[in-house]
């Protein structure tokens, strides 16, 4: 099972690759509005990169429920438990 710290570290690398910016610091409260360029396509990239990273699959309801980075990290934690 991935620890919260591992999840955040891996998500940080994904965000840095997706947005090509190494200064993004992930917090549980961070939302799309606070990151420039985080549109619905980037959202899909983040989701799919997470699925690839942990070998998991999110369903439609789970994706609809994501509001912030904390939701995503929590879901990854639950799915890799």
Q: Does 5 bind other proteins (CB under 8 A)?
A: no
Separation between Cα atoms, residue 50 and residue 18, nearest integer Å: 11
- Site membership for other proteins, residue 9 (CB under 8 A): no
How far, in Å, CA of 81 to CA of 77, rounded? 6
d(CA 80, CA 32): 24
Among the listed ranges 1-9, 26-34, 47-55, 65-73, the one in contact with other proteins (CB under 8 A) is 47-55
Q: Does 40 bind other proteins (CB under 8 A)?
A: yes
CB-CB contact of 26 with 15 (8 Å): yes
| Interface with other proteins (CB under 8 A) | 14, 17-18, 20, 22, 40-41, 44-45, 48-49, 52, 59-60, 63
């Amino acid at each position: 099972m991935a620890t919260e710290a591992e999840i955040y570290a891996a998500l940080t690398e994904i965000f840095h690759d997706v947005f090509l910016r190494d200064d993004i610091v992930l917090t549980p409260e961070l939302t799309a509005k606070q990151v420039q360029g985080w549109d619905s396509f980037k959202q899909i990239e983040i989701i799919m990169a997470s699925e690839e990273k942990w070998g998991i699959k999110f369903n439609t309801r789970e994706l609809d429920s994501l509001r912030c980075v904390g939701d995503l990290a929590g879901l990854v934690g639950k799915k890799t438990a």
